[in-house]
Structure 1
Amino acid sequence: MGRDIRLLLVDDDAEFRHAATESLESANDRLRVDTASSPDDARSRLRDEAYDCVVSGHAAPGTDGLAFLEDLRARDPDLPFVLLVDRDDESLREEAVSAGVTDYYRRDHVRSTWGLLADRIDDAVTAREATTAVSQQRHRLEQILKTVPSCVVQLDSDGRFVFANQRAEQVLGLEREAVTDRTYNDPEWRIRDLEGDEIPDEKLPFRRVVDTGEPIFDFVHKIQWPEGDERVLSVSGAPLFDGESVDSVVFSLTDITDRRYREDRLIRLHEASRDLYDADTTEEIADITSQAAAEILDFELNGVHLYDEEAGGLAPVAVSERTEQVADSLVTFDQGIAWEVYESGTVRSYADIREAPELYDPETDMRSGLYFPLGRHGVLLANSKQPDDFGETDLWLGRLLAANATTAFDRIERESLLRSRTNALAAQNRRLDEFASVVAHDLRSPLHKADSLLELWRQTGDESHVDEASDTLSKMETLIDDLLSFARQDTTERKTEPVSVREAAERTWKTLSADAATLSIDGDRQIVAAPSRLNRILANLFDNSVRHGGEGVTITVGFLEDGFYVADDGPGIPPDERTAVFETGYSSTDDGTGFGLAIVRRAVDAHDWEVTITESDAGGSRFEITGVESAE
């Protein structure tokens, strides 16, 4: 049972009002009847209280039902109103209908059929409630359609747009009136799939919903706006039925162009990340990063600048094609925005970089700017000649690319450090093997010989055995010195600096015991070298010439186009032995340790130089050191 119906009965006949009240409430238990004796009394009640229906007499003394109806309709056009008349009058009926009467009864008929009037009142009130509910629902729906973020359209069964909400202009590029002039398959839409191919009519969303009677969800396709812009839409729709047939279709259209663009760029960034992972050098990583910034993120003007200690700042390692075309020169940053980003490790975004206080070049024609730190390695920067040219998506994707590049740079650094440590460990293991070999043979043998000579001295008293044992121990001391020099070579200073070859040669010569030998230096040159390593090279080459060159040997230091040489006038080194002499433990004399020239080779390799042996002009040996960087 529904709610109570409040009825206002207006009539000047008190007996009629009493009888009508009892009869109507008995006939329908929803009715609650109040009475008024005149239209003025009714108007007063209607101002103070709410009623669902009014029943009024027409021509009783002091009562004018039609005038009351017209006055009531001016305030409430939809309130049910039943007019009671004393006789049938066609002109009165027409006048009442024109005034908006809900129903029309003769008083004498009502007295005998109160139930019929009660039902009519109930029906009129129920109909009004339903109409009001529909109106309210329609109003709410209209408000929802106005505010919903999607474009909502309705098409009739022929596929013609009959409704479009305000959002249609942003999604379809058309005014609402222009939308309703089109059909679902209008050629001007240029509906295509994501590959750019035309979609057959039977597969279009409207046709599928009408043909199957089933809803469709997230059907993605492209359309073309009147201005030529291509947009990507996600379409969802459902049929509205009239009986068993589809009467119309309602669609929700969402512009996902930007989302698809972001998704596409994310996929391509993921592919670029794999390339970064496979890269072998920092230069390759920089190139991949710059290329991805240009081709995937549309950062046409970009560059990867990495810290370079020798350059004193962030040197350009890779830049985009467009940057190469427009830049007068590539800058190494030691101040400005890029340097601040590198030092702080924070991302910077500028709608207009000319407003930045730390601008490197105040005369730049760049306006927008994005600056991303690459950890301790450097920065990725992107610029545009247009102000406010980068959005939140650009900033987000740029951060992602920079993070991936930083990870790749870290990996290369770790791998380089690991290789260095592995190589150092391998070298150390080789030296340990050499040590073991020397200790097992070269040191044990002279010790055994010295022990035997001392035993002979004890047995015979011949002091010549003592002298020979002393010589043997001296050789051991020399061997130990060379061993220590050879072992410590990789732990000595590695920093290079400009060095005078003449001064190094003269200084080294003074430390040798070579009174019978002569040193000749042909000029001078400043080279880039580690001083202690250069001294070791010269000392061992001088010692080799003194040991093997014979009495009064002359040693000459001269210069080549990309290095220097040390030559002597001794007997020289046979061609078939020139490679073997650099091997550890190799010696052509009994008093040699076999480490001198091995030390030379190691010191030369540490400089990334090369050493070769040829015959000197005097027929002796000549050691040529090449690949040397000049400091002049």
Structure 2
Amino acid sequence: MSTSQEPIRVLHVDDSTSFVDLTADYLRRESDRFEMTGAAGPGAGLSELDDDTDCVVSDYEMPGRDGLEFLESVRADYPDLPFVLFTGKGSEEVASEAISAGVTDYMRKQPGSERFELLANRIENAVEAFRAHRHLEQRNRRLETLISNLPGMVYRCRNAPDWPMEYVEGECESLTGYAADTIESGGVAWGSEVIHPDDRDETWATIQEAVDAREHFEVTYRIVTREGAERTVWERGRGVYEDGDVVALEGFITDASGFE
């Protein structure tokens, strides 16, 4: 079980209220992280479902609507929410249908406490994975927002004289005249085609000195845009190291023509 102490809010939907209570008792014994809400059937389950729910556990056979139909209703508003089908009706057909429908996990109800221990573990793993994915999406959105507001471009490139770009984002085209994917694909080489010929050697030497010292670097040099115009840029970056060797450079480049 995870050492995290963040609560896990579980909505358990089953037409047997006694089984809902039993499940809640067992899960709470496993961890005091579990905060259980019970619902007697899909209709009540949808009424209880909200943005604070971390995981849904549902029976399969229920009056009016089965567990997979309930899943479809849940997915309409919460497409990625962990959903565990915990059912007394088990067959390869039901399991296959559940997996095809997109359940996070499928478990058979069986006598004994071991099944509830496994259920607790499955819920916790599913919720931790969901939270990690959500955190990564939020981080990426913040990063994209930050990049979109920067007056320049961010990059990752290999540390070679041509500086082949692996990733380019931001105001690349307005800065250089080239689209980001043109530079990323190798259609244009930054080191030998974008940087001004007279500035290439000095720029390379300055950056290599900083990389060897494992320090950030700052360089100012001229580039030649797609239209043939000269423009002065300022670049700040750092080396990325693996096993003691530099494998890439990452940094930011912005127009410095107005500061000459």
Q: For the residues of structure 2 that align with 1:41 and 1:13, how far apart are their CA atoms? A: 13
Q: For the residues of structure 1 that align with 2:101 and 2:242, how far apart are their CA atoms? A: 34
Alignment of 1:350-361 (within 5 A): none
How many residue pairs align between the two structures?
A: 254
Conserved? CA contact 2:158–2:247, under 8 Å: yes
SS of 1:214's equivalent in the other structure is coil
SS of 1:253's equivalent in the other structure is strand
- The residue number in structure 1 matching 2:85 is 83
Conserved? CA contact 1:217–1:237, under 8 Å: yes
- Bigger share in helix: 1
Conserved? CA contact 1:73–1:100, under 8 Å: no
SS of 1:165's equivalent in the other structure is strand
Q: For the residues of structure 1 that align with 2:199 and 2:62, how far apart are their CA atoms? A: 80
After superposition, the Cα gap between the structure-2 partners of 1:198 and 1:25, relative to the gap in structure 1 and judged at 3 Å, is closer
Q: For the residues of structure 2 that align with 1:208 and 1:98, how far apart are their CA atoms? A: 55
SS of 2:106's equivalent in the other structure is strand
Output one character per residue of 1:50-104: Cα deviation in whole Å (capped at 9) or x when no partner. 3111100112454511111122112111111110122542232222122221111
Are positions 1:6 and 2:15 aligned together?
no
What amino acid does structure 1 have at the position aligned with 2:24?
Answer: T
After superposition, the Cα gap between the structure-2 partners of 1:242 and 1:10, relative to the gap in structure 1 and judged at 3 Å, is farther
- The residue number in structure 1 matching 2:175 is 171
- The residue number in structure 2 matching 1:96 is 98
Q: For the residues of structure 2 that align with 1:116 and 1:143, how far apart are their CA atoms? A: 41
Are positions 1:191 and 2:212 aligned together?
no
- The residue number in structure 1 matching 2:229 is 229
- The residue number in structure 2 matching 1:44 is 47
Conserved? CA contact 1:28–1:115, under 8 Å: no
After superposition, the Cα gap between the structure-2 partners of 1:24 and 1:149, relative to the gap in structure 1 and judged at 3 Å, is same
Conserved? CA contact 2:10–2:34, under 8 Å: yes
Conserved? CA contact 1:110–1:117, under 8 Å: no
Conserved? CA contact 1:154–1:161, under 8 Å: yes
Q: For the residues of structure 2 that align with 1:59 and 1:17, how far apart are their CA atoms? A: 14
After superposition, the Cα gap between the structure-2 partners of 1:5 and 1:190, relative to the gap in structure 1 and judged at 3 Å, is closer
TM-score by length of 2: 0.84
Q: Which runs of 5+ in 2 are unaligned?
A: none
- The residue number in structure 1 matching 2:34 is 31
Q: For the residues of structure 2 that align with 1:157 and 1:93, how far apart are their CA atoms? A: 50
Give the drift of 1:19.
Answer: 0.8
Q: Which runs of 5+ in 1 are unaligned?
A: 261-632
Conserved? CA contact 2:203–2:219, under 8 Å: no
Alignment of 1:445-464 (within 5 A): none
Q: For the residues of structure 2 that align with 1:237 and 1:135, how far apart are their CA atoms? A: 25
After superposition, the Cα gap between the structure-2 partners of 1:116 and 1:213, relative to the gap in structure 1 and judged at 3 Å, is farther
Are positions 1:142 and 2:147 aligned together?
no
State the identity as a percent: 30
Give the drift of 1:121.
Answer: 1.2
SS of 1:227's equivalent in the other structure is coil
Conserved? CA contact 1:213–1:239, under 8 Å: no
Conserved? CA contact 2:164–2:190, under 8 Å: no
- The residue number in structure 2 matching 1:550 is none
Give the drift of 1:167.
Answer: 1.6
Alignment of 1:296-375 (within 5 A): none
Conserved? CA contact 2:157–2:165, under 8 Å: yes
Conserved? CA contact 1:233–1:256, under 8 Å: yes
Give the drift of 1:148.
Answer: 1.2
What amino acid does structure 1 have at the position aligned with 2:250?
Answer: V
After superposition, the Cα gap between the structure-2 partners of 1:185 and 1:148, relative to the gap in structure 1 and judged at 3 Å, is closer
TM-score by length of 1: 0.37
After superposition, the Cα gap between the structure-2 partners of 1:39 and 1:21, relative to the gap in structure 1 and judged at 3 Å, is same
After superposition, the Cα gap between the structure-2 partners of 1:197 and 1:127, relative to the gap in structure 1 and judged at 3 Å, is closer
Give the drift of 1:157.
Answer: 6.6
Give the drift of 1:136.
Answer: 0.4
Conserved? CA contact 1:85–1:105, under 8 Å: yes
Conserved? CA contact 1:59–1:85, under 8 Å: yes
SS of 2:175's equivalent in the other structure is helix
- The residue number in structure 1 matching 2:238 is 238
Of the structure 1 ranges 1-10 and 83-92, higher mean CA displacement relative to structure 2 is found in 83-92
Q: For the residues of structure 2 that align with 1:89 and 1:117, how far apart are their CA atoms? A: 18
Give the drift of 1:3.
Answer: 2.4
| Superposition RMSD in Å | 2.8
Higher RCO structure (Cα 8 Å, ≥6 apart): 2
- The residue number in structure 2 matching 1:20 is 23
Conserved? CA contact 1:8–1:36, under 8 Å: yes
Structure ID, larger Rg: 1
Q: 1:67 aligns with which of 66, 69, 72?
A: 69
SS of 1:199's equivalent in the other structure is helix
Q: For the residues of structure 1 that align with 2:159 and 2:101, how far apart are their CA atoms? A: 39
